[in-house]
Amino acid sequence: MSLPEEDLTCPVCCDIFTDPVLLSCSHSFCRSCVKRCWETGLRECPVCRKRAGSKFNPPSNLALRNVCASLLQVRSQAPVAQEEKTNCGLHGERLKLFCLVDKQPICVVCQSSKLHKTHDCSPIEEAVLDCKDELAISLKILQEKVEVLTRIQQTSAEMSKYIKSQAMETQSLIRSQFEQLRRVLWEEESARLAAVKQEEEEKIAGIKDKLKELSAEVLSLTETISVVHEQLKEDDMVLLKNFQATQDRSESNVLGSDNMSGLLIDVTNHLCNLKYRVWEKMLDHIDYTPVTLDPNTAHPCLILSDNLTSLHYSKQPSCCPDNPERFHISAEVVAMSPLGSGSHHWVVETGSNQDWLLGVVSLSVPRNGEVSARPENGFWTLCFRHGEFRAMTSPPTPLTLSKAPRQIKVQLDYDKGTVSFVDPADNTVLCAFTHTFTETLLPYFYTQSSHPLRIMPEKVLVTMLRQ
C-alpha cells in the first residue's frame, strides 16, 4: 500500500524528501534542510523543538529514502501532459487547492507563498463541485441568450420581408394619391383650356357678326351714293321734285356703333395668379387631419385605413412583425405626432362604436405588457363601454351625460397641464384631467369594436401675408 504524498514531504522545504535523515524524536527531514536549520546554533527538531542527539550527522532514513526514490521514478515515467494537468508548474507539487480569489488551482507551496498567502482557498474536490454549479448557471444563461438571439434573428428575417411589403404598399398608395392629384389638375387644366377656347369662339363669332353688320351698312351707303349721283345728273326740276326723298334716304343711312373695345380675349382673367387659384381650388379635394395613426405601433388585431385616419377591430390578426414599438397585449395604437409644449386638439368620430378609449399617453408606456389605463401609469383617457362613459381616473369615475356624443374632441394644453374631452356639437366639457407633464405625449386609441373610430379632417384656410 503506497503512502500518501503528504507523508513523503519534508516539513521544511515542503518538497519530496531528498536524502532523508531520522532524528531521535522520530521526525524526518532532508539532510540539507536539517543542516541549514542547525547552522543557527540550535540543534533541535524543526517540528517539535526537541533537542537532537550529540551527533552532528543524524542517521539516514533508508526506508523513507527508497520510497521517495520510487515516487520520483514513477513521476519521471508518467506522461508529461498528465503531470502538467495535476502538478504545479512552479513547484511540481500536486494541485490540491483552489484559490477563490485568483480562481486558479494551486499546490500547498503556492498557498504558503506571498502570492496566495492571504487568499481564501478550498480543496480541489469542493472547488470542482462549486465551479460546475457556477458553469451550469452560466450555461443556462448562455442558452437563454442564444434563444433570445435566435428569436431576434427570426424576427429580423420576418421584418425584412415585412419591410418590402410595407414599401410596395406605401409606394402604391403614394402613386394612387398622386394620381388623384394629377386627375384634379388635369380636369382643372382641361376646364381652363376649354374656357379659353370658348371665349375664343365667342369673340370670333362676335367679330363675324360685326363684319356682317358693317358689310350691310357699306352696301346701303354705296346704293345711296349711287342714287345721289344719279339725281345730280337729272334736270333741275326733277332734282327738286326728288330732293326730299333723296335727302331722307341719305339721312336714313346712320352708321352703326364703331366701338371695337372688348373684342380681344381677356388674357389676364385666364392667367392672373393661375397657379395660386388652381392650388386654392385643389384644397377642396385635399383632407388634412391633425393626427395620423402610426401603423408600426398598432396591435395585430387593429385594421387601419389606407390614409391612417381610422381604425377598427378584427378577430383575425394581421401578419406583422413583433417589433418593440408595437402594442402586443390589447388592441391599442398611438399616433405618430409627438405632443409637447403648446396646445393641441383633434376630433374623433365614434359613430356606432360601443367599446373605445381615447386620449393621450406618455411616450414611455410599456408596449409588451398589460397596464391599466390610469394617470399614474401615463394614461389620460375617456372610456365608453357597456353604454357607460367613464373618466379613467384612479378609480374610474362614471359620467352622467344627457346624450351620447357622436364625436369626441380631445384637447391638450401641455403647458397648463390639462387634458379635456369635449362634445364638439355644443362644446360641452365631458371631463378633464390636470397633471404636470414632463414627458412627450402621444394621441392614444383603443377599441375592440368592428365599427370604426375616425379622426375627422379639418378645413384648410389660406391666408395672404401682405408686406
CATH number at residue 423: 2.60.120.920
pLDDT tens digits, one per residue of 314-332: 999 888 888 889 998 999 9
Residue 258: which pLDDT band, with cuts at 50, 70 and 90? low
Average pLDDT over residues 28-33: 88
Where do we find the cell 410595407?
166
Same domain, 275 and 327: no
What's the CATH code of the domain at 47?
3.30.40.10
Lay out the sheet containing 121-123: strands in order across: 104-106, 97-99, 121-123
Separation of alpha carbons 65 and 3, rounded Å:
13
Same domain, 430 and 299: yes
Average pLDDT over residues 169-173: 93
Domain boundary among 285, 313, 336: 285
Flag whether pLDDT at 210 surpasses 90.
no
For the chain, the average pLDDT equals: 87
Between residues 334 and 79, the one the model is more confident about: 334
Is residue 155 domain-resident? Answer: no
Domain boundary among 263, 285, 307: 285
The number of distinct structural domains making up the chain is 3
Report the pLDDT value the prediction gives residue 467, as an integer from 0 to 100: 61
Same domain, 188 and 40: no
Same domain, 222 and 328: no
Same domain, 408 and 364: yes
Report the pLDDT value the prediction gives residue 287, as an integer from 0 to 100: 82
Separation of alpha carbons 420 and 430, rounded Å:
8
Is residue 125 domain-resident? Answer: no
Is residue 131 domain-resident? Answer: no
Same domain, 220 and 352: no
Contact 441, 360 (CB under 8 A): yes
Same domain, 324 and 441: yes
Same domain, 353 and 421: yes
Flag whether pLDDT at 2 surpasses 60.
no
Is residue 97 domain-resident? Answer: no
Report the pLDDT value the prediction gives residue 1, as an integer from 0 to 100: 44
pLDDT tens digits, one per residue of 112-123: 888 888 898 989
Is residue 117 domain-resident? Answer: no
Q: Give the CA radius of gyration of the chain.
A: 54
Residue 276: which pLDDT band, with cuts at 50, 70 and 90? confident
Cα three-residue angle 360-364-365, rounded to 5 degrees: 65
Range of the domain at 12: 1-77
Phi, psi of 378 (to 5 degrees): 90, 25
Separation of alpha carbons 265 and 85, rounded Å:
108
Same domain, 299 and 267: no
Q: What is the pTM of this model?
A: 0.62
Flag whether pLDDT at 463 surpasses 60.
yes
Is residue 312 domain-resident? Answer: yes
Is residue 461 domain-resident? Answer: no
* Residue of 265, 255, 271 whose CA lies nearest to 207: 265
pLDDT tens digits, one per residue of 46-80: 888 888 765 667 888 888 888 888 888 777 765 55
Report the pLDDT value the prediction gives residue 440, as an integer from 0 to 100: 95
Is residue 25 domain-resident? Answer: yes
Domain boundary among 77, 109, 124: 77
Same domain, 265 and 299: no
Same domain, 440 and 339: yes
Same domain, 439 and 308: yes
Where do we find the cell 480543496?
123
